[in-house]
Structure formats: C-alpha cells, structure tokens
Amino acid sequence: MTRQTGRTAARGAFAGGAIAALMALSIAALWAQAAPAQQTIIKSHGYSYFGDLNYPADYDHFDYVNPDAPKGGEISIAIAGSFDSMNPYTRKGRAAGLSSMMYESLLGQVLAGAGSLPADDYDELYGLLAHTVEYPEDKSWVIFHMRPEARFSDGTPVTAHDVAFSHNLLLDEGLKSYAEAVRKRIPKVEVIDDHTVKFYFTDGISRRSLIDQVGTVPVWSRKWFEETGAGLDESRLKTSPGSGPYVVEQVDVNRRVVYRRNPDYWGWHLPINRGRHNFDRIRLEYFADSTAAFEAFKAGAVTYRTEADPKNWATAYDFPATQRGDVVKEALPDGMPPDMTGIVFNLGSEPLKDKRVRQALALGFNFEWTNQSLYSGLFEQQRSFSTGTPLEAKGLPEGEERAFFDSLGDLVPDEIFTEEPWVPHTSDPDRLLTRRNLRAALNLFAEAGWQVADDGRLRNADGEALRLDFLLNASTSPTLRAIAQNYIANLQSMAVDARLEAVDSAQYSQRERDRDYDLVFDGYPALLGAGTGLAQRFGSEAAEYSLFNPAGLASPLVDRIIEAALMTESQAEEDMTMRALDRALRYEFIVVPDGYKPDHWVAFWDIYAHPDPIPPYALGVLDFWWVDPDKDARLRARGVLQ
C-alpha cells in the first residue's frame, strides 16, 4: 500500500540550487544574513511555516465535517488498565484517558491531541483562543491577539496572563527534555495587555516550529493554580477549569470517567468548531485487561471500539449483534504513514550499545510467521520512518541528498554511500525460527564478542551472560503478549538469556519513564516534516531522559541532519533532509518494526455516523462523528444497549 502525506504528494522536483546555500553556509551565518532592514509584518487567521493556508479568513467550517451534525447522545469506549490521576502531566501514577481534553490553546488542535487539525492537512493551524497571529518575515517573534469572549468553564475570562502563566508553568514543572529545549529557543514571553501576548525567539537559531510551539501550549487558569497551590506535576483527581467544549462530569477511579459537553462553552460560534464536538457525553469504562474490555463491547456496555488486534479483527466479530446488523464493522482509509513501532532497544543497556548485537537480536523476530499466525495476514511491514511517502529514502543517495551527506564529512559512515537503506530481514512464514537467520545471528554475536559457552548461553570474554529483560504491560492484548513470548522463545533458542517481565499498568508507566528495560514495545511517530520536536525524539541533547526517545538514541549524524532540516527555506529542501534523516535513522537501527494495519479498523453499535470520506489525517471519532438520533432511539427501544 502506498501512502502520501498532504502536500508532499504534489511537491514536484527538488529545486537544485537551493540546497547549495544550506551546505555552504553555517547555521549562524544563514540567520545573520536573513533579516532585511525592513520586514513585512504578517497578520493572519492561521499559521503554517511556509505561509500557505488552505482555508481563507472567512471560512465557514472545515471541508470534511458535517456542519449540520446533530448534537447529543453518548459515545462509550472501553480501556484496558487502570488510572489514579486526572492530571495528564503527573510524574507519578497513571492519568486517565482524555484527561487533557478540557484545555484549549491559542491555535486549534484536534481533540486530546490525536491526529491533525485540520484533518485534511497536517501542517496548518487556525486560530482558537487567538483570532489573529502576527509575526515578521524572519519569525523572530510572534504576537497573538486573543478573543476577548473566551471563558474558562467557571466563567472567568481567558487572558494573556493565563497564556504566559501556562508557558512558564511548563518550563518550571513540565518534562525536563521539553523545558530545556524551550528555554533555549524561547527566552521571553510578554503580556502586552489582557488579550495580547508576545513571544520572543532566540537569535541565531532556526525558527521552525516555534510559532507552532507557543501557539499549541494548553492554557490553564492562573487563578485556579494560585488559589489551590496545585502543582502541574502532581497526581490529583481534581482538575483545573478548562476553556474547552467538555468538562468532567464523573470520576470513579479505575472504573469510569465521564466527560460532558458544556452547553455554556464560549466557542460554539467559531468556524473552527462547526460540525465538531457533537457528543453530549464521552464515557470511558476501565477493565482489567483487553479481553474483558472486548466482552463489554459485545454486551453493549460500551458502544465504540478501535480495533488494534488483527486476530480479533479477523475472527472475533462474529457474534449475535453483528449478525443482526446492530454492530457495524468498518475499515476506513488512513492517510498517515505508519509510526515506526515495534521492539525498541534501550541503547543505554551495555550489550545493546553494539549495533551488531541489535542486528542479531532483530533476526529473532519473524514478521512473516507472526503476520500469518497471529495477525491473520492483515498487517504490512514497516520499512521506513515514513513508509510509502515521498520522504522515504530509497536506493543510494544521489544528487542533492548525496551532496548534502558529502557536506557532513566524517560524521557520515561509508555504509550510507555504499549500501541502500536498511529494510527488514525476511523469514520463513511456516516456522517460528528461520535457521538461516539463526546462523546469521550467531555470526553477528561472535563478531561482537559473544560466543556460545558450555552451558549453552552466549557469554563475553569476561564470562558474562547476554541477559536481556523485555518489559510488557500485563493488561496488553493476548496477541501482543503472544508476540513477545514467541520472540523471547526465539532469543532463547539463539542462546540469549532473555526474559519477559509482565507488570501492572502503573509499574509499567513508571519503568518506561525511568527507561528501566532492555527491550520494550514502543516506537516513534512517522516523519512528516521538520520541527523542533525532532530533537526531543531523536536528538542527543535530551537522549538520557526524554520520554519521547525510548531507545535513548544519541547520534551526532542525526543531530546534524536535524539542525540542517530546521534551517531549510523551501519545501523541497525540507523533504530532502527528511529523506536523509530517514536513511540515517534506519542506519542507526533502534527498533525492530512489528508491522502495521493499513487502515483504521473500527467497530461500533449502529447509532453513529461519520463524514464520507474520512479525511486523511485523523479518524476523528471524538472530534467530528455524531449520534444518529433515529438509530439510537431504535436500538435503545429494543433494549440492546446497556
């Protein structure tokens, strides 16, 4: 299946001469000469880095929504696991699902941060709390002009003071990797008046993603935090008032959370909200494991399900409600490239620092057998950090990409020039362990100094066994558990002392934060374009502690490519550096991809409706789906829903 990302699908050939300046000049020199004496000041109803917006200032609604969608009804979703906090920013325990959905930002974001807004383009933002964004051509600062009618759910106004407070609160009490990155790039925030706030950006750096960054920070009530003395990073069940369309109605720890649509929400009249936020109630039901969660859906205790387990998708939906037509099962197109998910190596683990060991361990994963035996043949194999898009590196580097790598000198290993980008190995689909892969793995282990000893274990020159722990969330699906168990069995057949550690949800969250594992199911979002978030995910600066970099990757080559990507001045330049980054990340080899489902798999009781077609960059279930009141009434009259 080929996927394309928005504008990248129509971006034409690369403008050959443009990258020459990028390579010839240092980053500092680029910015030193970038600012003309007199700059045009840009004022707009939205923002994209290159200035092009699909929706005009007088847009009525996003094209993909149903502007006349009825308001009302409920959607209920089952979650496997537990929670003990309603604060999504807590550093202890586990926060409830959707616990950030009450909070809005200056520029609009999709509900709870899932997907893209607008969902038909991934690199545009439109005003929400702000009606106008103002900035010079060099993007050295930005001013947001806020909507004076904006209110928190307690009726107090949302002001520029709240925006500045929220920005600084994240710096003081938010994630260390986030705070350090932002402080270096955004040295000052200034409240000009109650509804005008200005952010200043550091001289001599890329301005990529900085306006996006400050424009999408959630805005909290300064008054509430000051009066309660609450901390951003503490675990608590009480929530601060938000300015969004939903408020918390009920919290029953480890059992249920209910969010209620606020009829007094200040922003119903805005075009950005038309056709969206249609459910009166969003109910989350918690269950001990994924099996119990699925049974609740079958019984009508919950009404919507996004299916991630291909075995379930292929075999588990033949129950009475589907046979009667009361439950709908749909595969909806997904226009986003798949995330690079799978078995992530912790590069801080001593034996995993050797790439040959990682390559050998990867040969123990049999995607073809897994897909046939556990995925019902429904998954496809990731091969890239931007699979199926024009940003995917292919073949040997040529033209501008080759010249770019040449400019990086000794940072670039010879293999980048002589070997095509890494792609997953192939395995025998009819047996769990492929013998040729076993032989290749043992050869790689030997090259790295690990030999099979008399006790049948791989040991190094000091006699230490190759011991690896695979961390697993105990509430995960049976299919994912089976994948981990089979992989562990293969590693043990390869003479690795590999062990599976299944722990409860709270312990799993804490150990992930502490990076207390050798192997874990995790991953990285697909590459869509340049942005300062790349440094948090892949950069060396915060590699030791960034929650967004589960492998702890720290590569000087990757750092330099990210720096160059942030300095690009055209879409073609950016695309070239993203292909180079994809090539370098695949060379570093930090994750064994476990495959992806090519579409959104959804099942729901037949009371819901959605736009047709679904926009490419968000499924939008909680954003722009709605309840069909006639269908809802018929099913409830028959008593088939609880």
pTM: 0.86
Tell which wins on pLDDT, 542 or 316.
316
Examine the domain organization and report whether 373 and 516 are in the same domain: yes
Distance of CA 624 to the CA centre of its chain: 20
Distance of CA 477 to the CA centre of its chain: 20
Examine the domain organization and report whether 419 and 537 are in the same domain: yes
Beta-carbon-side half-sphere exposure of residue 89 (alpha carbons within 13 Å): 24
Q: What is the DSSP string of 129-174?
A: SEEEEEEETT-SEEEEEEPTT-B-TTSPBP-HHHHHHHHHHHHHHS
**pLDDT of the residue at 346:** 98
Structural domain ending residue among the three candidates 556, 578, 593: 593
What CATH number has the domain bearing residue 59? 3.40.190.10
Does 187 reside within a domain?
yes
Rounded mean pLDDT of 191-215? 94
Q: Beta 467-473 vs 519-524: how paired, if at all? A: parallel
Write out pLDDT tens, residues 93-132. 789 999 999 999 999 976 654 556 899 988 899 999 999 9
Share of the chain above pLDDT 70, in %: 93
**3-class secondary-structure state, position 540:** coil
Write out pLDDT tens, residues 584-595. 999 999 999 999
- Domain with 508, as residue range(s), is 340-593
pLDDT at position 30 over 60: no
Structural tokens at position 25:
């000049």
Examine the domain organization and report whether 264 and 385 are in the same domain: no
**pLDDT of the residue at 27:** 36
d(Cα 81, Cα 288) in Å, to the nearest integer? 5
d(Cα 276, Cα 60) in Å, to the nearest integer? 13
**pLDDT of the residue at 14:** 28
pLDDT at position 449 over 50: yes
Write out pLDDT tens, residues 529-583. 888 789 889 999 889 988 899 999 999 999 999 999 999 989 899 999 999 999 9
Examine the domain organization and report whether 332 and 346 are in the same domain: no
Does 319 reside within a domain?
yes
Examine the domain organization and report whether 91 and 121 are in the same domain: yes
Examine the domain organization and report whether 221 and 108 are in the same domain: yes
Closest C-alpha to 166, from 208, 246, 226 = 226
Examine the domain organization and report whether 453 and 589 are in the same domain: yes
What CATH number has the domain bearing residue 472? 3.10.105.10
**pLDDT of the residue at 58:** 97
Examine the domain organization and report whether 390 and 506 are in the same domain: yes
**pLDDT of the residue at 114:** 55
Does 549 reside within a domain?
yes
End-to-end CA distance of the chain: 39
Does 172 reside within a domain?
yes
pLDDT at position 19 over 50: no
**pLDDT of the residue at 531:** 83
Rounded mean pLDDT of 40-47? 97
**3-class secondary-structure state, position 628:** coil
Q: How many CB atoms lie within 10 A of CB 456?
A: 9
Structural tokens at position 428:
């025998």
Does 505 reside within a domain?
yes
pLDDT at position 21 over 50: no
Helices (H), 363-434: 367-373, 399-407, 414-418
pLDDT range class, residue 22, cuts 50, 70, 90: very low
Structural domain ending residue among the three candidates 160, 193, 228: 228
Q: Which value, to the nearest 10 degrees, does the dihedral of the CA atoms of residues 316, 319, 324, 328 take?
A: -30
Beta-carbon-side half-sphere exposure of residue 612 (alpha carbons within 13 Å): 4
Does 32 reside within a domain?
no
Does 5 reside within a domain?
no
Examine the domain organization and report whether 122 and 263 are in the same domain: no
Rounded mean pLDDT of 449-463? 97
Closest C-alpha to 185, from 163, 162, 165, 167 = 167
Examine the domain organization and report whether 381 and 514 are in the same domain: yes
**pLDDT of the residue at 115:** 58
Structural domain ending residue among the three candidates 593, 609, 628: 593
Closest C-alpha to 495, from 551, 447, 441, 456 = 456
Write out pLDDT tens, residues 350-381. 999 999 999 999 999 999 999 999 999 999 99
**pLDDT of the residue at 546:** 87
pLDDT range class, residue 140, cuts 50, 70, 90: very high
Does 57 reside within a domain?
yes
pLDDT range class, residue 596, cuts 50, 70, 90: very high
**pLDDT of the residue at 109:** 73
pLDDT range class, residue 26, cuts 50, 70, 90: very low
d(Cα 504, Cα 510) in Å, to the nearest integer? 10
DSSP state for residue 107 in the 8-state scheme:
B
Examine the domain organization and report whether 55 and 118 are in the same domain: yes
**pLDDT of the residue at 11:** 31
Element (H, E) at 183: helix 176-185
Mean confidence (pLDDT) of the chain = 91
pLDDT at position 291 over 80: yes
pLDDT at position 10 over 50: no
Examine the domain organization and report whether 177 and 326 are in the same domain: no
Q: How many folded domains does the chain comprise?
A: 3
Beta-carbon-side half-sphere exposure of residue 405 (alpha carbons within 13 Å): 21
**pLDDT of the residue at 110:** 64
